[in-house]
Chains A and B, each alone.
Chain A
């Protein structure tokens, strides 16, 4: 029997896995979502920013990571608009600028937030981290005096007092990262050098689950204020925000899939050990 299990056609495993994923999508189990320390820290510190605080949102990812990072981006965006923060959206990833812009436009329209007054889309510029480095000294120059729609920055009332990606013009940066360039670049070129200023620029991050463990040391050292890890983190943030979103609805499927994987790992190991004894 154990040998048979070891030779099991992998497609049976796929089938069981798909059923485990589909079942909760049609029939939600209503499993509780427990908020972790990282997300709680993020939410608490981010929520403390005063109304009118300037937040730089940076969706630095491509479509491959959008299933995880789009829900995070939308949850944080809704939190920002709820607290009346002023938003600048710029991406170091070309495709990330489009992904972020689509969500931004949709949510802003829904909440009657005006481009150029409540938020501004700065698009993407060639140069990776050298652009944010230059923006830390001269934001307008780094953006060639244009926003992401090629309209003059001078036409936006929001930009009147924002000249640099630096304190006190910008209060916080939220980087949604699936690789490089990403939060490490903001830390290296903006937030860590600005840490010695009277009022630091706070760095928050949303991470794809794969990268999340590698960020623990920089959270511990205080270089990053808080982290939203993967889709699970997005669901936790939606729970804290009290605005149900895409991620929370998928967590039952996520949890059940994990149970199935664990069961298969345990079964596989038992089968391996049993067949070795023979």
Chain B
């Protein structure tokens, strides 16, 4: 980054951090700039990534006129603004949904089923720790599933105990996610601090 870019990024960072003190005009100014920049970025990237290669290069330059057909079908989505012909908007939507569902169903079951079959574990491991781990894995998986079992009342057949264990299992998993989230957020803050102290102020080696 050039010196000017570093200064803009550093002042922007400080203005955003100023929100920690209290809401203020500097924070709001940078927030609005960010939203405007993001909107402009999306427009430019869409032109550069979709319109330019497909429309300008493939259709106009290379003569692949068949691509005009999906383009026209896509335009039908805008008919929803007219009451008399808004039914036409369902055509591109149905194509998108049909393609999406077909594409997903063709590939998604395989990785999912490999995880299901992995649940069938042998309890006996090479060490006592692995054995204990396998038993815990099985019991807690079943308990977690029982918590989401709605066919019969969870107050009967002993399900109340196993679903309570399932709830604790889920809470432990959420705790692990929370801990990781904290770690991730600190990493982001450290990244900014390193930028301010090293790249901007140059006081850090």
Question: Interface residues, chain A, CB within 8 Å of chain B?
Answer: 11, 14, 21-22, 25-26, 64, 66-68, 94, 124, 126, 130, 133, 144, 184, 187-189, 192-193, 208-214, 217-218, 220-223, 229-232, 246, 250, 253-254, 257-258, 261
Chain B contacts with A in 189-205, Cβ cutoff 8 A: 189-194, 197, 204
Known: A11-B20, A193-B110, A220-B118. A21 touches B180 (CB 8 A): no
Q: Is the CB of A223 within 8 A of B114?
A: yes
Which residue of A11, A21, A209 is within 8 Å of B190 (Cβ)?
A: A21
How far does the Cβ of B53 sit from chain A's closest Cβ, in whole Å? 8
Which B residues are in CB contact (< 8 Å) with A192? 110-111, 114
Say whether B20 contacts A68, CB under 8 Å.
no
B110 contacts A188, C-beta separation under 8 Å: yes
Q: Mark B169-203, 1 if CB is under 8 A from A, else 0.
A: 00001001100111110111111111001000000
Give me 19 other A-B pairs in contact (C-beta within 8 A), A68-B191, A208-B184 excluded: A11-B20, A11-B21, A21-B186, A64-B188, A67-B187, A126-B53, A130-B103, A144-B53, A192-B111, A209-B181, A209-B187, A212-B180, A221-B114, A230-B187, A231-B183, A246-B194, A253-B186, A253-B190, A254-B186
Among B108, B177, B193, the residue within 8 A (CB) of A214 is B177
With most chain A CB atoms within 10 A of its CB, the pick from B183, B186, B188, B192 is B186
Closest A-B pairs by Cβ, 5 of them: A67-B191, A209-B184, A221-B118, A231-B187, A209-B180
Q: Which residues of chain B are within 8 angstroms of A221 by Cβ–Cβ distance?
A: 114-115, 117-118
Residues A210 and B181 in contact, CB atoms below 8 Å apart: yes
Partner of A230 from B110, B180, B189 at Cβ < 8 Å: B180
Q: Provide the residues of chain A in CB contact with B194, threshold 8 Å.
A: 25, 246, 250
Interface pairs (10), CB distance under 8 Å: A21-B189, A67-B190, A126-B53, A144-B53, A187-B111, A188-B111, A214-B177, A221-B114, A221-B115, A258-B182
Those of B35-80 within 8 Å (CB) of chain A: 45, 49-50, 53
Binding site for A on B (CB under 8 A): 20-21, 45, 49-50, 53, 103, 107-108, 110-111, 114-115, 117-118, 173, 176-177, 180-184, 186-194, 197, 204
Whether B115 contacts A258 by the Cβ 8 Å rule is no
* Secondary structure of the B contact surface, majority rule: helix
> B182 to nearest A CB, angstroms?
6
**Interface contact A254-B183, CB-CB below 8 Å:** yes
Evaluate contact between B193 and A25: CB separation under 8 angstroms. Answer: yes
Q: Roughly how many angstroms separate A130 CA and B102 CA in the complex, as a whole number?
A: 13
Residue of B49, B103, B107, B190 with most chain A CB atoms under a 10 A cut-off: B190
A124 to B49, CA, bound (A): 9
A229 to B181, CA, bound (A): 11
With a 10 A CB-CB cut-off, give which of B173, B181, B184 has the most chain A CB atoms.
B184
Q: Is there an interface contact between B20 and A254, defined as CB atoms closer than 8 Å?
A: no
Chain B positions within 8 Å of A210 at CB level: 177, 180-181, 184
CA distance A126 to B58 in the complex (A): 14
CB distance from B145 to the nearest CB of A (A): 13
Q: Which residue of B lies closest to A191 (CB)?
A: B111
Measured CA separation A193–B109 after assembly (Å): 11
Closest to B104 in A: A188
Q: Once the chains are docked, how many angstroms separate the CA of A213 from the CA of B181?
A: 10
Question: What residues of B have a CB within 8 angstroms of the CB of A250 in the complex?
Answer: 187, 190, 194
Q: Nearest Cβ in chain B — how far from A154, in angstroms?
A: 18
In the complex, A202 Cα to B169 Cα: how many Å? 31
Cα A144 to Cα B177 in complex, Å, equals 40
> If the complex has contacts A188-B108, A193-B107, A213-B177, are A230 and B184 also in contact, measured as CB distance less than 8 A?
yes
Q: How far is the CA of A83 from the CA of B81 in the complex (A)?
A: 59
> A33 → chain B, closest Cβ, in Å?
14
> CA of A218 to CA of B107 in the docked complex: distance in angstroms?
16
What residues of A have a CB within 8 angstroms of the CB of B118 in the complex?
A: 217, 220-222
Q: Is the CB of B177 within 8 A of A257?
A: no
Please, how many angstroms separate the alpha-carbon atoms of A232 and B187 in the complex?
9
Complex Cα–Cα for A257 and B182 (A): 10
Residue from the set A26, A188, A214 with the largest chain B CB neighbour count within 10 Å: A188
A193 closest partner in B (C-beta): B110
Residues B180 and A213 in contact, CB atoms below 8 Å apart: yes
Q: Is the CB of B110 within 8 A of A261?
A: no
| A residues in contact with B177, CB < 8 Å | 210, 213-214
